Amino acid sequence: MKKYSVAAIPGDGIGNEVVPEGQKVMEAAARLGGFSFDWTHYDWSCERFAKTGAMMPEDGLDQIRNKDAIYLGAVGFPGVPDHVSLWGLLIPIRRGFHQYVNLRPVKLLKGIESPLKGREAGSIDFYVVRENNEGEYSSIGGRLYDGSPDELVMQQSIFTRRGCDRVMRYAFELAKTRKKHVTSATKSNGISHTMPYWDERFAAISTEYPGFKTDQFHIDILTAHFVRNPDWFDVVVASNLFGDILSDLGPAVVGSIGIAAGANINPEKDYPSMFEPVHGSAPDIAGKGLADPIGQIWSGAMMLRHLGEEAAARAVEDAIADVLARGEALTPDLGGKANTRELADAITAALPAHF
Ligand code: NAI
Ligand code: MG
């Protein structure tokens, strides 16, 4: 029987409520799918920071380097500045483990009310593929002549051929399993070096995938299309900054922050990939059992897919869709009265029917 060794990092706030529920659903999926999990729990968090002065131990990355995956809740809590918690835990994992793809599904499910008028379940179904390691988010830059009228500040963007090509290939490979349509986010009219280069690489990689539909939009009009024509898209590939914006806008147009899922992927599997919901630690509702566990559970489905357990991944996704469509056992953010555990239990109960 296959056994997957997974690092569970609940982190802060509602991470401590939704991760254990997500693990229960993963356990149920494993029993039905004929595989198993070996979980190791890590208390890396702002609470740990308050006690020890560090979000994780110095050899933290080495402790989890050989895991098959990382299942993370949320990181950040009042009392620790957000850039400290982010750069002390999430960013070192994303960069240290070359998780150069940030992947987010955007899917309108039955039972979820989209803020967009007149959209039917199933009419919006695409992925945002964000470059997660380079681009506009580099730490190369500096400031000169501080506090004087000559004050000057600059920050470099970094686009490498390897970095562009690999994330674009990932987008095409994903589209191969779907509608074979890839859209590129650009801004080559205003940003005159890096973005024309991005377009050039997109055109070059496109030639490796004959028969695929490709298009590209400047990021400004693309955000408008996400709202006005979300049915146009299948897989959207974007640089780090543009992808950051699109991967929040996408889930926002299909409903609650509580159900949005995400993954940080090292496609070559040289390092573990990390699966985490889009939402944060929600200090306003933490500790009350009000948190929606679906984002965490759906991220778990993405983990199952990455591990090669496609049937189990689909079953979890279908069980989520099933429970939402029936409208039972929903948490308050979805208009219901159930608590975190009750919603997760309902998804577990729906699993067998979808295997
Ligand atoms: P947040 O996502 O934690 O909360 C935003 C709003 O959505 C809150 O009203 C919250 O109650 C609600 N919400 C979030 N998740 C929910 C769920 N599962 N069920 C029901 N309602 C939910 O974002 P916020 O408040 O900006 O950040 C709080 C902390 O989380 C900060 O320290 C921030 O840095 C951190 N954060 C961490 C992220 C991560 O670990 N990747 C992502 C976003 C924020
Ligand atoms: Mg973001």
- pLDDT tens digits along 30-46: 999 999 999 999 999 99
What's residue 138's pLDDT?
83
Instruction: Please tell me the distance between residue 282's alpha carbon and the centre of ligand 1 in angstroms.
Output: 4
Give the bridge partners for 235, in sequence order.
127, 182
If you average pLDDT over residues 238-265, what whole number do you get?
93
Whether 181 contacts 175, CB under 8 Å = yes
Residue 74 near ligand 1, beta carbon < 6 Å:
yes
Gap from CA of 277 to ligand 2 centroid (Å): 11
Q: Per-residue pLDDT tens for 269-308?
A: 999 999 999 999 999 999 999 999 999 999 999 999 999 9
Ligand 1 atom closest to Cα of residue 80: 32
The domain locations on the chain are 1-100+256-355, 125-253
Q: Which residue has the tokens 């620790």?
A: 80
Q: Which CATH architecture has domain 125-253?
A: 3-Layer(aba) Sandwich (3.40)
3-state SS string for the chain: CEEEEEEEEEECCCHHHHHHHHHHHHHHHHHHHCEEEEEEECCCCHHHHHHHCCCCCCCHHHHHCCCCEEEEEECCCCCCCHHHHHHHHHHHHHHHCCCCEEEEEEECCCCCCCCCCCCCCCCCEEEEEEECCCECCCCCEEEECCCCCCCEEEECCECCHHHHHHHHHHHHHHHHCCCCEEEEEECCCCCCCHHHHHHHHHHHHHCCCCCCEEEEEEHHHHHHHHHHCHHHCCEEEECHHHHHHHHHHHHHHCCCHHHCEEEEECCCCCCCEEEEECCCCCCCCCCCCCCCCHHHHHHHHHHHHHCCCHHHHHHHHHHHHHHHHHCCCCCHHHCCCCCHHHHHHHHHHHCHHHC
19 lines ligand 1 (CB under 6 A): no
Average pLDDT on 317-338 reads 95
Give me the pLDDT at residue 102, please.
Answer: 97
260: its two tokens = 């949005």
Give CA–CA dist 187/261, Å, rounded: 27
Q: Which atom of ligand 1 is nearest to the CA of 75?
A: 40
C-alpha distances out from residue 318 to 76, 230, 238, 273, 276, Å: 31, 22, 28, 23, 19
Q: Which atom of ligand 1 is nearest to the CA of 292?
A: 19
* Residue 281, phi then psi, degrees to nearest 5: -85, -5
55: pLDDT strictly greater than 90: yes
Rounded to an integer, the average pLDDT of 120-126 is 92
Block residue for tokens 């945002």: 128
**pLDDT tens sequence across 188-237:** 999 999 999 999 999 999 999 999 999 999 999 999 999 999 999 999 99
Which residues does 145 contact at the CB level (< 8 Å), separation at least 6?
A: 151, 152
Asked, colleague to colleague, whether 1-100+256-355 and 125-253 share their fold, the answer is: yes
Contact assessment for residue 116 and residue 227, using Cβ atoms and an 8 Å cutoff? yes
The candidate with the shortest Cα–Cα distance to 283, out of 17, 77, 70, 86, is 77
pLDDT (average), residues 54-65: 97
Indicate the CATH number of 1-100+256-355 among 2.30.29.30, 3.30.750.24, 3.40.47.10, 3.40.718.10: 3.40.718.10
Q: Is the CB of residue 336 less than 8 Å from the CB of residue 287?
A: no
Answer whether residue 113 shows pLDDT above 90: no
Residue 103, pLDDT score: 97
* CA 63 / ligand 2 centre spacing (Å): 27
Provide φ and ψ at 91, rounded to 5°.
Answer: -65, -45
Task: Report the pLDDT value the prediction gives residue 118, as an integer from 0 to 100.
Answer: 87
User: Taken in order 199, 248, 223, 170, is the CA torsion positive or negative?
Assistant: positive
33 lines ligand 1 (CB under 6 A): no
Q: Which residues sit with Cβ closer than 5 angstroms to ligand 2, an ion? A: 244, 248
Calpha distance 4→196 (Å, rounded): 42
